[in-house]
Structure formats: C-alpha cells, structure tokens
C-alpha cells in the first residue's frame, strides 16, 4: 500500500477523537484501546481515515488473511511498530480458525455471496474481533507502560446473554497481564452456550452463573464498574483495574473493517465481480458494530453502494433508517429466534451519526441526551438524507426467519443460522441490481433448537417434541446433521458433552456477591 512510506514519518499521528467532544485531547490508538470509552462518555473515532484505491484493495487478495489485516492496521497508522502488528495478526488469524481463508465466501448464486464470519473458535462472528482485540489490548498496555505510564494489570468483566462471553473468554485466555471473568444468567442461556463457557481452559479465566436474568447480571456488572471504593481496593491489593471488552471499543471495530476490505478483494480474485464493480452489503444488525464497519470500508474505498440493515422483531434500527426517528419510549423488548440481535439501544449508531453529521459532536451530545431523557431522538433533515443515501433497512419476523432457513436449505442446500436467515431475507427484500454480500454471523449449530424448528415446521417458541427436547444441544445438532446431511459441525461445538466442566459456581446477582467473587478469583490468580 502506497501509504507505508509516508507512515514512517507520521508514525502514530492518527489520533482518536471523542464523538461527544468532551475536551479530552485526541489520544493514540493504544490509549483508545486501553480506555475503551472516551472520558466524556462518547466513543473514539480516528481523526483520519486512510484511503485505498481499488488496485490497493484488489492486491490484498495475494496475501494471507493475517497480512491483509496487518496492511489495513498499518494504513490506519496505528502507534505500534509494523513488526508488532504483523506478529499479533499472525496470532489472531491462524490455526485458531478452521478455514485457511479465515472468513471464506460461499456463493449461493451469481449475485448472492455469503461471507462466513464464524470459522473461529466459538463459531460466531464475535471471534473475528475478539481473537484480535486481546492481543492489541495487551500490546497497547505494554507500549503505554514503556512510554512511562503507570498502568496496572487488567481484569475484563463481561456480562453475557450468550455469545459474547465465550468469544471474550477464548480471546483473552492466555493473554499476558489480563484476566477475564464472565457472568451469565443461571438457566438463561442455551445448553450449548453454557457448556461452551464452563469448559473454557486456561488459567486467567473464570465463569460464574448469576441467579437472575440477563438484566440482573448486567446491572450487577455495571454497578461493579462504577464502585469507586472497589476500584481502589483492586488497585491497592492486586494492582488491577477493571475493563470491559464490549463492542464500542475501537479495537473491536477495526478488525471488522478488515473483513469487508478483504472480502471485496476475494470476490474480485475469484472472478465473481469485476474490480471496481459496486456491491451491496447486508448485515444482521444488533449493536450496529458490524454494519458500521462496512460503512467505514466504503469510506476507505471499497466499492460498496448500499448498506442493507437487517433487524428482527426488535426493529428500532429499521424504523430509524426509514423515518429518522430513534424511538424506544414505547417499545417492548422481544425475545426472538435471533437473540444476538435482540437489542433496543444500539450503541455504535452514535459513531455512525457522528460521521454522517460531518463529525458534529454538539448534535451527538444533544441526541444522546434526548435518548437518555426522552427515550427518543430525531435527526435533522440533512443527516436523515445522508442516512438514506447509505442505508436501507428491513425487519424480518420469527416465522419468516424460520421459513427462510428451510427454503434456503431446499433451494441451495445451504444451512443458515437464524441471524443470517434474517439478513438473507432482508437482502432479498431490499436488493437492487448489485451483487449482495450477506454477512453470516453464526454457524447453524450454535442455534440448533431454532434450526430444528425451521426444518420440522414448528412455530417460533413452540416446544420441541419430547424426543428432541430430551437431547443435549450436541445431540440435537447431531440429529440435524443426519437429517440434513450437513456434517460440518465445528469441533468446538461437537465435543462439548465430553469436556470437563471447570466452572460451576452460582452467585447472587448483588454487586457485593459479584465483587467478592471477582476478588477471590484475583486472589487465586496471584497465588
């Protein structure tokens, strides 16, 4: 990439600004990654975006995925040495993925391409970022210490409703100077999801089931984060600071930008599109991280025309894109067949609006205040026009989602997970002439119960028949594999019933119980 020579002169000069303009001076990449959230409560975005030509992008296809990722990070001019970036990317995207291409593309027809983002260790797309961020988090902390900052070690605490917890455990296990504790609602996650978490290996990991639902779990963790006396105790007794690995960290977003750049190069190299030809990208959207990454890829130079935003019955984003009003004042939270998209407050939308307003922090502050106070905000006409120029949106209900899984299996002999099925349907409804790249965010075997419902014509939420209901998640997947002749269940999901359960603690959902459990984990770590 032609930027590499200029870069040496300006090494680390690309700094990160705050979407709410709180007055903190811009920070380098390393600091943005370690801080997570900007001081004023806003999100970090880079001052400058690189710009790549179609030739630059297409040339990436000659490199292995890890080197493509390194090239993109270098183009972003991050303040870590090239060699470090290359080494970390080798670790992030290697044999921990079960496909050499890391995120291969399967084409269902000439113009419909499925980007499989689930070949990592936990079989869901969060691996694409969480196999990468932890290495950059540790390297960033080390770099800041070398520059004289007195940083402690870190403990990542994550409340999870399913997928994020396991992806974070796998990402942070064995990473120096960081430990990770994950809390999930007892009885509130699937058999597969629970087993994935409680069988995690490694010394720096811990998992607790919490009495209560996901909200209780998350509230407890949030209170722990804001308990200053506890923070001081951790710092004094263990030299530890708490940190979160959530999807607003720029270090989770940048790996996602990489795969949109890389997959365009891949489509050209495979002769599926012409260099320079425009494509649309359709993304099953929750927190808006994945689709925002596609927007950044477009800004940087990938010939993307429209970004198609797919929602499930929690359709706040679809309504926003169609009306310009983001309104959760009278919106119920609905449990759907695509639980990782069940979300009301979509935190990465803040970055998107910051960009579409021409980086107007005053507008963002106002809208976020409105959202906080009135549970609703409305963007101005000019911003709404910018939204409409880039995005179109559709929501897909549970029954349609399940019907799509069956239909795509019948028509294309390809098995979609429910999240991808939502995106596939939205893409059919929204697409024009352009080829569409559909982001596939989970392997079907992560959501076997709903795949079973789809294949057997059961309604959403309908109880499984007794013979299927008595199976473990792994056994149910085996049954589906036999019925569909899809024997591609990833090893990490296939073997769960035989793996040792390492974590069986159940704790109360009080902040005291969480703090005590976390401290005792740290004591155990130092011994």
Ligand X SMILES: *Cc1c(COP(=O)(O)O)cnc(C)c1O
* Interface with ligand X (CB under 6 A): 124-126, 163, 247, 284-290, 340-341, 419, 441-442
CB 342 within 8 A of CB 354: no
Listing DSSP states for 391-447 in one string gives EEEEE--HHHHHHHHHHHHHHHS-PPPHHHHHHHHHHHHH--SS-EEEEE-B-GGGG
Instruction: Pick between residue 173 and residue 419 the one whose CB is nearest to ligand X.
Output: 419
Given 126, 166, 173, 406, the catalytic residue: 126
Is 126 a known active-site residue?
A: yes
Enumerate residues 6+ apart whose C-beta is below 8 A from 8.
none
- Smallest separation (angstroms) from ligand X to the CB of 439: 8
C-alpha 397/C-alpha 189 separation (Å) is: 21
What is the DSSP code string of 438-498?
EEE-B-GGGGHHHHHHHHTTPPTTPPPPHHHHTS-HHHHHHHHHHHHT-----HHHHTGGG
**Under DSSP, is residue 244 helix (H, G, I), strand (E, B) or coil?**
coil
Altogether, the residues listed in the chain come to a count of 527
Instruction: Write out the DSSP string of 275-311.
Output: TT--EEEEEE-SSSHHHHHHHHHHHHT--EEEEEEEE
Q: Smallest distance, Å, CB 63 to ligand X?
A: 25
Least gap, CB of 67 to ligand X (angstroms) = 25
Three-state secondary structure string covering 113-175? EEEECCCCCCCECHHHHHCCHHHHHHHHHHHHHHCCCCCCEEEEEEECCCHHHHHHHHHHCCC
C-beta of 172 vs 238, nearer to ligand X: 172
Nearest distance from C-beta of residue 483 to ligand X, angstroms: 23
Between 340 and 390, name the residue whose CB sits nearer to ligand X.
Answer: 340
When the beta carbons of 138 and 416 are compared against ligand X, the nearer one is 416
Pick 172 or 288: Cβ nearer ligand X: 288
CA proximity to 452, closest of 422, 490, 484: 484
Instruction: Identify which of residues 77 and 311 has a Cβ nearer to ligand X in the complex.
Output: 311
Nearer residue to ligand X within complex by CB, 182 or 522: 182
What number of CA atoms fall less than 13 Å from residue 365's CA on the CB side?
Answer: 10
**Selection from 261, 262, 314, 323 nearest residue 288 by Cα:** 314
CB of 132 to ligand X, least distance (A): 15
Three-state DSSP state, 182: strand
Rounded to a whole number of angstroms, the minimum distance from the CB of residue 62 to ligand X is: 29
- Tell me which residue of 19, 43, 21 sits closest to 354, measured CA to CA: 19
**311 φ, ψ to 5°?**
-115, 160
| Least distance to ligand X, CB of residue 493, Å | 14
Which residues are annotated as catalytic?
126
């Amino acid at each position: 990439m032609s930027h590499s020579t200029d870069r040496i002169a300006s090494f680390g000069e690309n700094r990160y600004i705050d979407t709410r303009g709180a007055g903190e001076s811009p920070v380098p990449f390393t600091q943005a990654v370690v801080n997570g959230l900007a001081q004023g409560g806003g999100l970090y975005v880079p001052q400058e975006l690189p710009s790549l030509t179609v030739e630059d992008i297409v040339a990436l296809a000659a490199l292995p995925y890890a080197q493509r990722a390194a090239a993109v990070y270098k183009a972003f001019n991050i303040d870590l040495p090239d060699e470090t970036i290359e080494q970390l990317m080798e670790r992030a995207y290697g044999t921990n993925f079960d496909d050499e291409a890391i995120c291969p593309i399967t084409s269902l027809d000439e113009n419909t391409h499925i980007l499989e983002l689930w070949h990592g260790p936990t079989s869901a797309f969060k691996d694409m970022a969480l196999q990468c961020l932890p290495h950059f988090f540790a390297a960033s902390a080390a770099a800041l210490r070398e520059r004289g900052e007195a940083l402690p070690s870190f403990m990542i605490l994550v409340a999870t409703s399913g997928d994020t917890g396991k992806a974070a455990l796998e990402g942070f296990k064995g990473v120096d100077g960081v430990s990770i504790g994950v809390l999930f609602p007892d009885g509130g996650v699937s058999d597969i999801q629970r087993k994935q978490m409680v069988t995690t290996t490694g010394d720096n990991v811990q998992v607790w089931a919490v009495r209560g639902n996901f909200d209780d779990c998350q509230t407890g963790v949030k209170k722990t984060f804001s308990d200053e006396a506890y923070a001081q105790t951790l710092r004094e007794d263990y030299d530890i600071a708490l940190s979160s690995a959530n999807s607003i960290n720029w270090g989770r977003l940048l790996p996602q930008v990489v795969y949109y750049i890389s997959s365009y190069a891949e489509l050209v190299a495979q002769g599926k599109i012409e260099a320079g030809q425009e494509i649309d990208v359709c993304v099953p959207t929750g927190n808006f991280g994945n689709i925002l990454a596609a927007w950044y890829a477009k800004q940087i130079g990938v010939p993307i025309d429209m970004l198609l935003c797919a929602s499930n019955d929690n359709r706040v984003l679809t309504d926003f894109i169609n009306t310009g009003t983001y309104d959760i004042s009278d919106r119920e939270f609905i449990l759907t067949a695509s639980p990782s998209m069940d979300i009301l407050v979509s935190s990465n939308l803040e970055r998107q609006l910051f960009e579409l307003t021409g980086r107007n922090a005053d507008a963002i502050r106002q809208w976020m205040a409105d959202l906080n106070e009135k549970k609703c905000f409305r963007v101005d006409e000019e911003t709404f026009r910018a939204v409409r120029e880039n995005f179109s949106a559709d929501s897909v209900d549970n029954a349609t989602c399940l019907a799509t899984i069956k239909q795509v299996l019948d028509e294309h002999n390809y098995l979609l997970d429910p999240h991808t099925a939502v995106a596939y349907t939205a893409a059919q409804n929204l697409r024009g002439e352009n080829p569409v790249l559909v982001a596939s965010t989970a392997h079907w075997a992560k959501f076997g119960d709903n795949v079973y419902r789809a294949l057997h014509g059961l309604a959403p939420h309908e109880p499984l028949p007794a013979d299927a209901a008595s199976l473990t998640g792994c056994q149910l997947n085996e049954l589906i594999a036999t019925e569909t002749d899809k024997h591609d269940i990833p090893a990490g999901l296939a073997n769960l019933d035989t793996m040792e359960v390492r974590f069986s603690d159940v704790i109360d959902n009080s902040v005291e119980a969480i703090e005590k459990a976390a401290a005792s984990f740290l004591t155990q770590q130092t011994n």
